[in-house]
Structure 1
Amino acid sequence: MIFRFRQRAAYAWIVVAVTFLALLVSAGIRSTPGVLIVPLEAYFGWDRATISFAAAVGIFLYGLVGPFSAALMIAYGIKRTMLAGLALMSFATLSSLWMTEPWHYVLTWGLFSGIGTGAVASVLGAAVVNRWFATQQGLVMGMLSASTATGSLVFLPFLAWLAEGGAWRPVVIAVSAASALLIPLVALFVAEHPDDVGARRHGETDQSAPPPPLKQAATPWLAFEALFRAAHHPMFWLLFGTFFVCGLTTNGLVGTHMIAYCGDHGVAPVAAAGLLSLIGFFDLFGTTGSGWLTDRYDPRRLLAVYYGLRGLSLVALPFIDFGPVSLGIFAVFFGLDWIATIPPTVKLANQAFGARDAPIVFGWIAVGHQAGAAAAAFGAGVVREALGTYTPAFLTSGMLALVASVVVVAVSARGNQLGRAQGDATA
């Protein structure tokens, strides 16, 4: 049943609001293993590399499921895909209450929750934007992208408070309940298409580009067909590679290991979780602002700036004193840039691959993001276990972000030269 509002023209924002909450909870579940590292280490005696491996599996599947989730949204509908993902998220996390072996943790928080959260990931935002908005797509994608960072970070102080004294079970119950509570909201308020509520896409006029097709044939090859078409386009590999670095530097490294890293410097878990929450708070402004900028400026130049500033922040982090002021300054700068890369990446995907393929292709690009995140989540745990410090992991990630910035600048400059050459040839 869909709740019908009198002002049907505003229904797109109702769908955005519910999608925002779903993305927020999904990303929050993916960040929860960062809170569980120390409690599980103390309770079960598992080593940090083993615990990090489960987090890496979940993060990787969170991305890998994306293109197939986008295909399911096209074939079976956005609402059904969201409901299935939320139900699996709630079931997987709740069942971990009975785990006793490391493979139980990998199965529940790695495999099952990774699949569930992957169905309610950034590709969902891209699908909603394409289906419900004819204008302001960058701004709305920025808002929805911000929700993923907010979910990853803003709940962490509360979860860290629940985990005080090594009590990991209350954390599990809290995130499972949050997923379950969203199921009726999605069932009541998410319409499949503007036509279902007698509305048009937000900002749509008679001169607007036609909306994407409602459904395509339900085939398991839908996601692969879009990938095969995109793989011949250089833009796909640019976005895939830079998004790999994006995931490596954000939820893979900082989101998973920042609390433990701060703990190595004498910062209490609740205070460290508060730092991540502050990052999430500033990301609301940074990523939403990035969406606004993406509607107005060259997205390639924006990406170059974002990766450059992120790389400088991570390179500087190991050399600060980890006091409240220096960590606060880091949180502000890193938060404004946390996932500001998503709106320009989505715009470039839309421009290169069109309304039909763009949501699925962006799902494949997001696989790169989560592959990078998984590599950092596991790799940083191994580095800490072997060397007793996270410093090499943070320095390496910062340097990779700077490399990504240079690559985007080079590609942007080359594209501008080609554009001028074509203009001269046609003059």
Structure 2
Amino acid sequence: MLARVHKLFSTTIISGLLVWVNSAPVAAESVAEFYKDGSIVIHMGFPGGGFLESAKLVGKHMQKHIPGNPKIVFQGRPGRLGTAVLDFLASPWALKDGTHLAMPGSLGPWMPLQTSVPVKYDPLQMNYIGNVNSAGDTFLFVRQDVNIRTLSDLVSKPLKVSNSRGAYRNFVAALNNILGTKITYVGDYPSHRDAFAAMLRGETGGIAGAGVTAGAEHRRYFPSLLKDLKVIPILRYTATTKSVEYPGAILAGMAGTTETQKQALEITFASQVLDRPLMGPPGIPAPRLKALQIAFMKAMQDPELIVEAQEKKLGIKDPMSGPNMKKYVETIYALPETAKAMTRKALADKSFLQPVRYTTFNAELFKVTKEGRSLNANLTFKDTKKTIIVRLDARTTSVSAYGNQIKPPPLKAGSLEPGMKCNVSWTGPKTTASALVCKK
């Protein structure tokens, strides 16, 4: 009997020890151990152009500074002006462990504040890794022969502007409804080059918005327009800091006459402060979040990145740390409700919008010339009188051949061949086709 009790007691002690050992806290996995041999996916709100180029450059150098050196890869998730990607981050499908990040459009942190569009994410709960550009070097431009230079001119004289990016519709809406300007917005054009072409043809008197540090989309010709004074930056979309290059430009954010107006403009132009934010979902473990934030700032100070950014004219300027981003977001969201209401009312106006006018022609496709390594191309058509060159954008040009809609990228499908008869929709010479309908 005593032996049985002793055996039972011993077994109980041993079992208890096993339970205690198995339930004892395991040494926490280090950041380097977690990321070693792994990868991080940055989901892109805009999957092409200078936006993707700058993101790839940051990712290339950032991965060197993350403990464990994970590989950074990119996945396009466009939609709703680049903000749909944040809905994904907030969804159950996105990992919250520091391996799923996003670079939304500049409206990402501000969509719930500026519009009534329902979103699934809360900007105040998101994690902020770093911001590529907080310089706010975006301006409203006019042609040199347009007699508008001051805010008084903008208020008293009508101006028609063209553009390709939806975010600038909001800026023009704010200028019209808060400051009383008389601007008509023609857009959205398929690309910056098309918007500039419309201006240079005299169809509009200016560009609603473009950066003086030209991005990939228009860097080939924009600097020469500035140098030759064919376009003049007259208004800067920011709240506080004058431009070093163009100190005479109006500071839009300071142009309000009341405190509420100034606050509403600050809300509107907040996207210029967080121009290319890198964000993460809620719930990233604190050590990994801190490691990502540190790696981002180290990458932005990396001499190799700085040289590459200058060579590619990517406009990487005045980066902001993740903690400072979060503080800025909290500051803007803390502004009075009267300013928020004024902003939403102003940005809801659509009366100043004018659609792009497309024309069509029929001609025979003579030659297809690819643009470097991209899937875009210049298409040469010939009719009885002249040669016509049209640009095909793999992302935006709708292509039908042999009666079938061709999914992007159309060139990869081999759907366009010399000798085809095509109906082309475009805005004018040397611009991007909005649609091609071709057949043999």
State the TM-score, normalizing by the size of structure 2: 0.24
State the TM-score, normalizing by the size of structure 1: 0.25
Larger strand fraction of residues: 2
- Whose relative contact order is higher, 1 or 2, with alpha carbons under 8 Å and at least 6 apart? 1
Q: Which has the larger radius of gyration?
A: 2
Larger helix fraction of residues: 1
